[in-house]
Structure 1
Amino acid sequence: MDTAREHGVPVILVQHTSPADSPLFAAGGHSWELHQEVGRRPYDHLVEKTMASAFAKTDLAGWLDAQGIDTLTVAGYMTQNCDESTARDAFHRGMAVEFLSDATGTLALSTRAGSATAKELHNHVLVVMDSNFASVSTTAEWAGAVRSGEPLPRPNIWASTRGSEMD
C-alpha cells in the first residue's frame, strides 16, 4: 500500500460483509473489521462486498472506469476464493491483472471432491493465474516494477502449456 501511494497508484480496500448471524465477516463483528495495519493507511476507495468477487454487486467496475484504471493488483484473503474470483472478473473485463503471491493466503480445504493443504491450494491457484489470468509476482517484484515503471511479464496460456500433454 505504501509503495502504491508513493507512486500514485490508487489503493482500493475491499471489505467482505456477511449477515449479522454469520460465523465470519458479520457486519460490525471482529472478523469483519479491516486489519488494523491496513485500516490505518490512506486509501482511495472502499468496496463493501457480499460475494467472492469484488466486482459482484459493487461499484468497483464503475469506479475503476471513472478513474481510467486498466490494471488491477490483487492482494488479500483467500487465494482461491475472493482473490481468484476478483482476478478472473478483472481479466474478463479486459484489465491487466497482477496477483501478489506473498500477499495472498488460504487455509487447507477438505470437501467431497478431495482435499488440499493450504500450500498446495495456494500454489495451484498461482500456477493457474500465471498461465492466463494474471501476472503473478512477489510483493518485492511488484514494487520494483512500480518503481521502474516497467510492467510485469504478462501470462501466456500457449507458452505455459508447451511441452505438456493432456491427460
Structure 2
Amino acid sequence: MPTLLIIDMQVGMTWPEPVVRNNLQAESVIARLLEDWRLRNAPIVHVRHISRTPGSPFWPGQPGVEFQPALVPLPHEHVVEKNVPDAFINTGLERWLHARGESTLVIVGVSTNNSVESTARTAGNLGFKTYVVSDGTFAFEKTDFDGNKRSAQEVHAMALANLHGEYATVIHSAIALSTA
C-alpha cells in the first residue's frame, strides 16, 4: 500500500476567500482518502509548514499552524514539520520512508504549485513512484511573471502539467481509492 502524504492542511489554509482558490471539495476528498488509508492501516504522513517569518499564520504558536480539525493526525501517524515548501528538505522524510520500505507515495494537499509540486518533484527525483491526486490538491490565483493574473484553476492545471509524466503521475481520487 502506498504512503499517503498530506501536505500543509493547516487552519491557515482555510483563511483566504474561497473565490481565490480552486477545488473547493479538496478537503473532503483528502478526508475520504485519509479514512480509507486508516481503515487499511496503511502508512500516512502529515506534513505541517512551520514558518520562519514572524507574523506568518504558520509561525509557531499561531492558530493557523494547527492541522484542520477534520484532518488531525492520530497519535501513531507520522508528522513531518518543514520550513520550506519541499517536505524532503531537512525533515528526515526520505529516511523515514526508506526505513519502512516505502517506495510509493500518493500526495494530496496544498498548494499545488508550491509545496505539492516541490515535494512531488523531489520524490520523483529520489526514485519514489509518485502520484499526485488532482482533486485532492488545490491552488490559489496568482499573477504570472508577465503580470497576467491567472486563476487558481490555471495555476493548478499548470502545476499538474509540470509534474505529470516526468516527476509523478497525476490521478483522480477515484483511482487512488481503487488501487490503494
- One-letter code of the match for 1:131? G
Q: Does 1:113 align with 2:146?
A: yes
Provide structure 1 residue ranges, at least 5 long, that are not aligned to the other structure: 147-167
Choose 49-58 or 36-45, whichever is displaced more: 36-45
Q: Is the 8 A contact 2:46 2:73 kept in 1?
A: no
Choose 106-115 or 28-37, whichever is displaced more: 106-115
CA gap 1:61/1:67 in 2 versus in 1, 3 angstroms? same
Considering only aligned residues, what root-mean-square deviation do their CA atoms show, in Å? 1.6
Higher relative contact order (CA 8 A, sep 6+): 2
Q: Deviations over 1:44-96 (max 9, x none)?
A: 21000000000011010110010110011111110000000000000010000
2:126 to 90, 93, 99: 93
Partner of 1:84: 117
CA gap 1:93/1:38 in 2 versus in 1, 3 angstroms? same
Compute the displacement of 1:142 (Å): 0.5
Q: Does 1:4 align with 2:37?
A: yes
- One-letter code of the match for 2:92? D
1:131 to 161, 165, 176: 165
Report the identity percentage: 30
- One-letter code of the match for 1:133? Y
- One-letter code of the match for 2:82? K
Partner of 1:67: 100
Max Rg structure: 1
May I ask how many residue pairs the two structures share in their alignment?
A: 146
Q: Is the 8 A contact 1:100 1:139 kept in 2?
A: yes
Provide structure 2 residue ranges, at least 5 long, that are not aligned to the other structure: 1-33
Within a 5 Å distance, the mapping from 1:17-28 to structure 2 comes to 17-19=50-52, 21-28=54-61
